[in-house]
A and B are shown apart, each in its own frame.
Chain A
Amino acid sequence: MSDQEFFQAMRDQMHPAPEVRQALDQAIAQASGTAGTAADGAPAVPGMPVADGTSSQPGQPVPAAPMPAVTAKPRRTARLFGLAAGIAAVALAAGGVGYGIGHQGQGETTAGPAAGQTGRAGGTGSAGQPGGTGSDTTTGGDEEGAATGSGVATAGDYQAVYDALEKAGGGSLNGQYGGADRGDSVAVTEAASADTAGVKALPATGPGGDYSETNVQVEGIDEGDIVKTDGRAIYIASNKQVVIVNPDGANTTKLGGLDTAVDSPGSAEDLVAGRIVLPGQVFDLMLVDHYLVALVNEYTAEASGLSEWGGGASMYFDSARTKALVYDVTDPADATYVTEYAQSGSYLASRLQGNILYLVSYYPIGSGYRPVVAEDTRTYVPYVWNGTEATAVAADAIMIPADGADAAAYSVATAIDIAGGTVLGEASVMGGQGTVYMSQDNLYLAITQWDYNWDTTAETRASSVGDGMVLMQGQATTKLARIALNGGALQVAAEGEITGTLLNQFALDEYDGYLRLATTESVAEQGEPTDWSSDNAITRVSLLVLDGNFQVVGSIPQLIQNESIQAVRFTGAVGYVVTFLRTDPLFTLDLSDPTAPSIMSELEIPGFSAYLHPWADGELLGVGQAGELSSDGLKLSMFNTSDPFNVTELATIPFDMYHSLAMDDHKAVWADVDRGLIGLSAYQYSEDWSELTYHYLVFSYADGEFAQVADLAVPYDSAAQWNMDSIRGVQIGDALYVCTDHSVDAYTLDGFAKLGGISL
């Protein structure tokens, strides 16, 4: 067989399962306005209660993706596996066994507009943005390509919210399954009655603060993570459990665990109307004062949507809630559930400033079974729960982008005073899912939108850097929203849009009232063709400086072209950007004058850094690839940044691994500057690619030199469903604990001798 034939033979097999294709055909037919065809009327699953008035289409396989009625916006879906078990669970619950916790109907909560007004001042403003100059900025004639930005428009009432959603949804909010008359619109499910025992008094503090904390982007702002420690215990998220470990060197033991599915079990009460509420896994943990907060999703699904597909069984959820389950860990050996908070949508991000927890979720509308109707705000307005008490986000706390939302969805942000037991504020931005970045004063959302309307006769979009270049057709722009923290009284303060995309949360940084962004965009010169076949197109990396209203006040139009950004780190008046195609230019940028940012130096070395970490004065640590190929292995670099005009690579150490999680997730890095130690996990393939091994590596850095001081094996079993992204190194006292969602191993900090280990 020739090579050509070999590839053709593979290509010929690249087809989706027939039911996926069928479902697409059906979706297209429906989108065209022709009614879907129903198969026979028998219930999809024998013995299952059928929802009232349903015109479900049993016999039709559930397609692989709910069809949002928006323009080409791919969205996440969740699959719930385990059909047989699911039926059993549902049947059991129906019989009164299983969940059965008291469930209150929605009746108490008003569905009309203006429910849950929190009395905050509505409207626009640039609160918390001292340096912003708003639209007064005029820094010369070359700023006409500015980002759009202004004060924000919040909804006048819920009808306006509904109308905006419908418009964003391409004219219809009821996609694949919605629109069918399902009888009474079922209430948004309440949380189970929580034991709202009073908050315990502050305990005597633990054994002191000699322990490592999560490696975060902004000093003083904690980020939720899979593994947390307060020096007295290590808390590890493992599927729906939180395992609590007593870190005692050779005597490390498992203290206990919290089963979030027990404390927040969901409810099968909605079975009559054909709904199931199911607890999801713990995504992140946060330690607040003497509380542990577990951040989980809770899913509501249509029971009639259960079907078998592809060997497993999957059921798409109708809607999700993000829950913050609060446990008192004054005594880690006796952690107790205290209360919970929830908000509409799936968990997106969490931050902690002082004792205020900020939670962001993403809430799409109209992609499930439940019909969305303007009269019932519970079907399209985001809600926030304090325990069982539900409050709708006020219409004037919902920002609708001036030129319409790009998706029928919201980002929902809340500020919770965990110790005080109150929700301090909530705000919502209508639009697609974005990257979250939080500074000391503001929460930012950056939402990338791809334009699928490749109509080359349409008006071109000027590049935000304002140098006369225009965006290529079909290329991305990023919408920005700024929510002022106001000590918890969240308020959407500004919106804007820039051309190009952002790498991740590190590509944004607020300093001295200005927002700095490192972007990538594909542009061509004004007047040149902008369709995909243009020879004049270039992809470039730019630096933008925006004021509080997202107006561009300064920029570096083109750091480099036809390379991609690998890492960004802003440190006050200096910024570092790594790009890569062949070699690693590390750009050092002078950002001291927001209106005139400039490149101070460009260092070219082999490979590239994927993560940058300010180490000490004049030193910058980089973690990344040693050469052009991933088969060249990885390396650490220490850059001498004391003279920003002449940045050099002071020291480097290669290590023979294929990839490190540190390159993808900053929280996986342990950097202890005082001790001169760096820890990270990495994996390597065997020569014949058949075996994978995981390692936790520790390096020392002293006197301008690196040394690898430990290569600790991390248990790995390819057959088990362990989450190898959960590997974290936690230092407590004079021991290092290598933690995963299935193991904790203790080592001496001096010499890394293994003290002991436990399986979780």
Chain B
Amino acid sequence: MDSTAVRLDYQPDLPADTHSVVQRYEAMVYGIALTHTQCRGDADDVFQDVFLAYHRTMPAVASEEHRKAWLIVTTLNCAKKVALGSWRTRVVPLTPGQEDAAAPEVFHFATEEQDAVFRAMSRLPEAYRTVLHLFYFEDLPVGRIAELLNLDPGAVRVRLSRGRQQMKDQLLGALFDE
């Protein structure tokens, strides 16, 4: 699946209003938020903060790819900040005995296998996780990932390969074979 940078479709005329942008990129932003925070609530926060930021900033973009890049990087930054807050500073059970209701809500997928993959990804160091997410869930080529994360493509390949290895170790499956 490795590839050099491939130019994706250039679509300068897609609507730039926030509602359309949310529609178009909801899953992308939320997905990144999910794999870079620890619970559903944090992901929700990131999701909302990113699109509100978009709405307030209306970044000047030259192309749809630029807009997409803006959203990806903003989401990564936002998730970093939100995830830094320990969950226990966020939860106030209304009465004692509600502590178990106060646990952060984990996102669940439809199948156990998907859950396992998600959990395995969550255990990766963030550097590898980001690259794996963008590669497998967003289908971005190595070159594009390198641009987004300010790395050289070699570094991206290294992280991809190590991340894959760790995932394989965890899952013992064929899913991450090269």
Which A residues fall within an 8 A CB radius of B?
3, 6-7, 9-17, 20-21, 23-25, 27-28, 31-32, 63-65, 67, 71-83, 85-86, 88-89, 170, 239-240, 261, 278, 280-281, 283, 297, 299, 310-315, 317, 346-347, 450, 452-457, 472, 474, 476, 522, 531-533, 537-539, 562, 564, 581-582, 628-631, 685, 689, 721, 723, 725
Neighbour of B89 across the interface among A21, A86, A283, A452, CB < 8 A:
A283
Residue of B nearest to A283 (CB): B89
What residue of chain B has the Cβ atom nearest to residue A83's Cβ? Answer: B94
Given contacts A72-B49, A79-B102, A723-B88, 13 further A-B contacts (CB under 8 A): A24-B52, A74-B45, A75-B49, A80-B91, A81-B98, A239-B96, A347-B89, A452-B57, A453-B57, A455-B60, A564-B127, A630-B124, A630-B166
Given contacts A79-B90, A317-B92, contact A24 B147 (CB under 8 A): no
Residues of B within 8 A of A (CB): 1, 18-19, 22, 26-27, 30-31, 34, 40-41, 43-53, 55-57, 59-61, 66, 69-70, 73-74, 77-78, 81-82, 85-86, 88-103, 105, 109-110, 114, 117-118, 120, 123-125, 127, 136-137, 147-148, 150-152, 155, 158, 162, 165-166, 169-170, 175
List the B side residues contacting A317 at CB < 8 Å: 92
Partner of A89, one of B19, B49, B66, B95: B95
- Of B49, B92, B120, the residue contacting A80 (CB under 8 A) is B92
Q: Is the interface of B mostly helix, strand, loop or mixed?
A: helix
Contacts of A81 in B (CB 8 A): 91-94, 98, 101-102
Partner of B44, one of A17, A531, A533: A17
Check B150–A312 contact: CB distance below 8 A: no
What distance in Å separates the Cβ of A538 from its nearest Cβ neighbour in chain B?
Answer: 8
Contact in complex: B166, A452 (CB < 8 Å): no
B148 vs chain A, min Cβ distance (A)? 7
Asked whether B74 lies within 8 Å of A452 as measured between CB atoms, the reply is: yes
The residue in A72, A77, A457 that gathers the most chain B C-beta atoms within 10 A of its C-beta is A72
Contact, CB under 8 Å: B150 / A15: no
CB contact under 8 A between A13 and B59, given known A81-B93, A452-B53: no
Contact B90 A689 (CB under 8 A): no
Bound together, the chains give a CA A311 to CA B120 distance in angstroms of 25
A-B contact pairs, 6 of them (CB 8 A): A10-B137, A64-B44, A80-B93, A80-B94, A82-B94, A532-B69
With most chain B CB atoms within 10 A of its CB, the pick from A240, A452, A453, A723 is A452
CB <8 Å contact, B105 and A74? no
Q: Is A455 touching B59 in the complex (CB atoms < 8 A)?
A: yes
Nearest A-chain residue to B74, judged by Cβ: A452
Cα distance, A88 to B98, chains bound together (Å): 13
- Does more than half of chain A's interface fall in helix, strand or loop, or is it mixed? loop
* C-alpha spacing A315/B105, complex, angstroms: 15
Q: In this complex, what residue of B is CB-closest to A310?
A: B105
Which chain B residue lies CB-closest to A12? Answer: B27
Of all chain B residues, which has the CB nearest A688?
A: B172
Contact B96 A721 (CB under 8 A): no
Most buried by A among B19, B92, B100: B92
Q: How far is the CB of B166 from chain A (nearest CB, A)?
A: 6
B91 to A, closest residue via Cβ:
A79
Taking a contact as CB atoms under 8 Å apart, the answer to whether A454 and B59 are in contact is yes
A21-B26, A79-B41, A454-B60 known; A299 vs B170 contact (CB < 8 Å)? no
Known: A14-B27, A67-B52, A86-B95. A72 touches B89 (CB 8 A): no
One of A11, A23, A631 near B27 (C-beta < 8 A): A11
Asked if residues A76 and B27 are in contact (CB atoms below 8 Å), the reply is no
Considering the chains assembled together, what is the distance between the CA atoms of A246 and B20 in angstroms? Answer: 62
Q: Is the CB of B150 within 8 A of A65?
A: no
User: Which of A28, A67, A278 has most chain B Cβ within 10 Å?
Assistant: A28
**B146: nearest chain-A partner, CB-CB:** A535
Q: Which residue of B lies closest to A539 (CB)?
A: B150
CA distance A545 to B31 in the complex (A): 40
Q: How far is the CA of A612 from the CA of B147 in the complex (A)?
A: 33
Given contacts A14-B27, A81-B94, A454-B70, contact A629 B45 (CB under 8 A): no
Query: Closest chain A residue to B115 by CB distance?
Result: A10
A13-B109, A628-B162, A721-B103 in contact; A82/B95 too (CB < 8 A)?
A: yes
**Interchain nearest-CB distance for B141 vs A (Å):** 14
Contacts of B45 in A (CB 8 A): 64-65, 74, 77
Q: How far is A595 from B22 in the complex, measured between Cα atoms in Å? A: 50
- Please give the distance in Å from A725's CB to the nearest CB on chain B: 7
Complex contact B166–A629 (CB within 8 A)? yes
